[in-house]
Structure 1
């Protein structure tokens, strides 16, 4: 019995030994190739995946850094705009924006001459001293500042009309391979006034050593328009954060021309309302003048009696309020 058990154990052990031997031989012959090919493919895939991941990380970090730079630049421009709005523009700045070369002292001297002339004309016209003094104050403070505001507004209109052409000149220069500084110089020589003088001053400031990111925002300070603000933001962001400057300025030029067309459309649509407001505002003066020609004694009561002065003052105040309301209703800011 023990002999049979020992033979059985021996036979089982021999079979197991043969099986393990065959498996070992098969493992030694075939597995190295499979493992080698698998490890090689795995390593190639791992390397390619790591490169893709590294490229993704780099692109993500670059986009994040660029977005941070753009946000910082926009915030800086916004702070400058807030400071400019909070700080009231001085008379010197308004004179420069109107294209005048006179100093504030000369302006106040001309205002004093204007006020004195209005006062003397009213005094010679047999008007009371109080009314003559009021007319003189209007000639001193009202008329010169009104003239300055009109001249500044006309210059800004000319600038808005010519500014897209200057941007197009810069875009064409950049597309031909010229640096931005040369493009600004070409725009300063090829465009019409007042864009020419403003760009020439911009080029002169850059030639003095100031960086472009500091020079361009000064253009918006000298010409406080949304168009120059857009231009300053585009230049500052593109110079510091990179990107296609010609494409950005081309889009800006299209936006500026679209804004100009919209303003012209609004002006055409509101022309009838402006004409009606002008007629309504002029009617009291026309009727008063016609009454003076036909019934002089009847209209002169308003200028000779105290009650007439009060009525005239109240009428002028109410007319002023009406003019302001109508102007607010027919003016549109774009």
Structure 2
């Protein structure tokens, strides 16, 4: 009995000693070592410990600002891609409902015309879909791009007018009014709206943001940033706008240079994209019976649809490859 109790006590002591040796001293030594390093590290170690939360907070603020800017940019792009914004960019005053009504009327006219000509209902539906949904939006996009291009080309001259007005003693608001009177369209109408918005009580930042919704160009964004920075920090506004005018003209020269360098690729893409439809049209004109199964047989309709799909995909891919944005 005594031997059993002695063995139990010795076993407990051995187990407790092993556990104490494996866990407690190492952890205590590690904590003690860290504390000693912090204490013995002097001012540098204490400064590092003190700075660590500050750096983390700064990184968090930076990430939050980046997330906010990305969200604002995403919402701005979504708003600019809406049909209402594209109608404004094209200079059309019609409502979105009116646009859809005209598109539906065009689709109905094309559908009836193709059916009257005796073509397949499948072809009639496809052409009506393209005429009602594709053609009007393409026209709006074309008009918008043309109008934005004219605005961008005349924008440096507007900056020069503001610079000369400021140097001669005119306020910025009066210089903007001069642009609305003297500049060509569409620059004049946009700056007239800008002056009217400021006169109605908007801040110049809000008025420029409204202008950017109708003319989503980097030049307008640069102009808004320059005015915002000058309003907050001060400085020579004439010099800042003069530098902006130089930058915008340099961007224009760069675009022209890129256009010249990519002219061969653009011509190649145009030839490759137009070659299959041109060959099909020539064969249809010279040998109508050879092409007749494509238009009379349902299997030919399926082949035409597949060919049109792949041609569209190829044209869009080539357009993506030769479309350079600066």
Normalising by the smaller structure, the TM-score range is 0.7 to 0.9
Distance in 1 between residues matched to 2:162 and 2:66, nearest whole Å: 22
Task: List runs of 5+ in structure 2 lacking aligned partners.
Answer: 1-64
Question: Which residue is 1:326 aligned to?
Answer: 318
> Which of 152, 165, 186 lines up with 2:144 in the alignment?
152
Distance in 2 between residues matched to 1:150 and 1:257, nearest whole Å: 24
CA contact (8 A) 2:79 2:85 kept: no
String of CA shifts for 1:174-222, please: whole Å, max 9, x gaps. Answer: 1111111111111111111111000000000111122223222222122
Distance in 2 between residues matched to 1:82 and 1:284, nearest whole Å: 38
> Which of 134, 137, 160 lines up with 2:129 in the alignment?
137
Instruction: Find the residue that maps to 2:86 and give its secondary structure.
Output: helix
Instruction: Find the residue that maps to 1:300 and give its secondary structure.
Output: helix
Question: Which residue is 2:3 aligned to?
Answer: none
TM-score of the superposed pair, with normalisation by structure 2: 0.76
Question: Which residue is 1:184 aligned to?
Answer: 176
Question: Which residue is 1:31 aligned to?
Answer: none
The total of aligned residue pairs comes to 262
CA contact (8 A) 1:273 1:330 kept: yes
Question: Which residue is 2:200 aligned to?
Answer: 208
> Which of 213, 219, 224 lines up with 1:227 in the alignment?
219
CA contact (8 A) 1:181 1:203 kept: yes
CA contact (8 A) 2:85 2:213 kept: no
Task: List runs of 5+ in structure 1 lacking aligned partners.
Answer: 1-72
Distance in 1 between residues matched to 2:95 and 2:216, nearest whole Å: 20
Question: What is the CA RMSD across the aligned residues, in angstroms?
Answer: 2.0
Distance in 2 between residues matched to 1:88 and 1:198, nearest whole Å: 16
Distance in 2 between residues matched to 1:78 and 1:232, nearest whole Å: 18
Larger Cα-atom Rg: 1
Question: Which residue is 1:304 aligned to?
Answer: 296
String of CA shifts for 1:12-47, please: whole Å, max 9, x gaps. Answer: xxxxxxxxxxxxxxxxxxxxxxxxxxxxxxxxxxxx
String of CA shifts for 1:50-82, please: whole Å, max 9, x gaps. Answer: xxxxxxxxxxxxxxxxxxxxxxx9999876434
> Which of 69, 91, 103 lines up with 1:99 in the alignment?
91
Question: Which residue is 2:105 aligned to?
Answer: 113
CA separation of 1:234 and 1:80: change in aligned 2, threshold 3 A: farther
Is 1:294 paired with 2:289?
no
> Which of 140, 154, 157 lines up with 1:165 in the alignment?
157
